[in-house]
Homo-oligomer: A and B are copies of this chain.
Amino acid sequence: MPAPKLKELRRAYGFDEVAIVPGDVTINPEQTNIDLQIENTTFALPILSSAMDAVVDVKFAVLMSKLGGLAVLHLEGVQTRYDNPEEVLAEIARASKAEVTPLLQKIYSQPIKENLISQRVEAVKKAGGICAGSVTPANAKRFAPLVTEAKADLLFVQSTVTTARHTSKSVRGLIFPELIKSIKIPVVVGNCVSYTSCLELMRTGVAGILIGVGPGAACTSREVLGIGVPQITATIDCAAARDAYQKESGRYVPVITDVCKAIVAGADGVMIGSIFAQAKEAPGHGFHWGMSQPHGTLPRGTRIQVGTTGSLEQILFGPSSLTDGSQNLVGALKTAMGVCGAFNIREMHKAEMVLAPAITTEGKSWQMAQA
């Protein structure tokens, strides 16, 4: 007797399973425009750097700003727990594999100093950078006023999974419409992977949505919790939510994900960690340990070594002598858009994409053997 159908399992796709199909029209890459707009601010590049301690400090944020992108400062990490974060970062880089997780747990158990939140934000602003700071939902009500008083330009509220409806034990948890109303700067929220939860978050008035649970290079949430949706499907679904929300509200809320290919799936921007951790300006000394804060009883991030390969400018604009796509991100995106005949990001959303698991291995036996 066949089983009655109890549970439908939808197929979800990851970024290594898809490929972009060239268009019937091609254009010169130099004619493409890759602006990203978050409320009233327009960024020349649709590229954000992740709020990771190993990537963004004050100097990095300022430089990223000047190059046209946006680096998000982690406001609950070493920058706000230590007066001299450089020492702590060096210690992490020196630790052996066996030592590093307990060390991270110890380092991140130090309390956050509220005065450092203000100091870091002000330092970015003083140096002429656009400043975005990231806090967790649990601390958002407490830290948001500090962030806005210090004149930050954007507030990011991030956790593994953030929804508009959270049941907590406190009498009155975080209510996004209230938070957004109380501060005057745009609030970008994440992470989110499904249509309904994205739509519900957009309806709270957020200025942008971060997409993805677990695709980060150092993140082990998918393994530890079993939770996650591969990025292409997550992006397609959230982009559909954005379009539905635009129809109902007239507002266009950009969705930001973590790999350039996702732009064809519907993303407006990409938030990148590992590749920026390779910049010589990144404070992590060629290492990073993801975005999750090392949890005291259930860690879900591991330290990985990415090495240092070049300057941030080189990573964004080249020139490059690497053939793996980790440098000249802007050139690659513009070239891809040219090949798809897309003059801007929204046109790139319409490019064709195929399921192509063979794409990375077809014909590459020598390349793989010699890597």
- CB proximity of A4 to chain B, nearest CB, Å: 5
Query: Would you call B21 and A194 a contact (CB within 8 A)?
Result: yes
Binary contact track A7-27/B, C-beta < 8 Å → 1, others 0: 101111111111111111111
Q: Is A195 an interface residue (CB 8 A)?
A: yes
Q: Is A166 an interface residue (CB 8 A)?
A: yes
Query: Given contacts A6-B236, A297-B328, are A24 and B302 in contact (CB under 8 A)?
Result: no
Query: Would you call A233 and B354 a contact (CB within 8 A)?
Result: yes
Cβ–Cβ < 8 Å partners of A21 in chain B: 193-194, 227, 229
| Interchain CB contact (< 8 A) of A20 among B6, B225, B363 | B225
Binary contact track A286-325/B, C-beta < 8 Å → 1, others 0: 0000000000111111101110000000000111111111
Interface residues on A, range: 35 or more
Cβ–Cβ < 8 Å partners of A226 in chain B: 19-20, 260-261, 264, 336
Q: Is A40 an interface residue (CB 8 A)?
A: no
Q: Is A123 an interface residue (CB 8 A)?
A: no
Q: Please report which residues of chain A, range 144-175, place their CB below 8 angstroms from some CB of chain B when the two chains form the complex.
A: 160-169
- CB proximity of A218 to chain B, nearest CB, Å: 7
Binary contact track A66-107/B, C-beta < 8 Å → 1, others 0: 000000000000000000000000000000000001100100
Query: Given contacts A6-B243, A11-B354, are A23 and B163 in contact (CB under 8 A)?
Result: yes
Query: Given contacts A161-B22, A168-B28, A355-B12, are A101 and B222 in contact (CB under 8 A)?
Result: no
Query: Given contacts A12-B19, A356-B229, are A166 and B27 in contact (CB under 8 A)?
Result: yes
Interface centre among A105, A215, A228 (most CB of B within 10 A): A228
Binary contact track A228-254/B, C-beta < 8 Å → 1, others 0: 111111001101110110000000000
**Copies of this subunit:** 4
- CB proximity of A358 to chain B, nearest CB, Å: 3
Distance of A361 Cα from B27 Cα, bound (Å): 34
Cβ–Cβ < 8 Å partners of A132 in chain B: none
Query: Would you call B328 and A301 a contact (CB within 8 A)?
Result: no
Q: Is A127 an interface residue (CB 8 A)?
A: no
Q: Is A182 an interface residue (CB 8 A)?
A: no
User: Whose C-beta in chain B lies nearest to the C-beta of A317?
Assistant: B297
Query: Would you call A298 and B318 a contact (CB within 8 A)?
Result: yes
Q: Is A360 an interface residue (CB 8 A)?
A: yes
Cβ–Cβ < 8 Å partners of A19 in chain B: 12, 222, 226-230
Q: Is A115 an interface residue (CB 8 A)?
A: no
Q: Is A220 an interface residue (CB 8 A)?
A: yes
Query: Would you call A299 and B321 a contact (CB within 8 A)?
Result: yes
Distance of A302 Cα from B362 Cα, bound (Å): 15
Q: Please report which residues of chain A, range 317-342, place their CB below 8 angstroms from some CB of chain B when the two chains form the complex.
A: 317-325, 328, 331-332, 335-336, 339-341
| Interchain CB contact (< 8 A) of A339 among B27, B161, B237, B354 | B161
- CB proximity of A122 to chain B, nearest CB, Å: 33
- CB proximity of A341 to chain B, nearest CB, Å: 7
Given contacts A12-B356, A299-B321, 18 further A-B contacts (CB under 8 A): A3-B237, A3-B240, A4-B195, A14-B361, A14-B362, A15-B362, A24-B164, A24-B194, A28-B167, A167-B341, A217-B363, A222-B359, A223-B325, A225-B335, A297-B318, A297-B319, A298-B320, A298-B328
Nearest first, the 8 A-B pairs at minimum CB distance are A14-B358, A297-B318, A3-B195, A224-B325, A14-B362, A215-B363, A12-B354, A27-B167
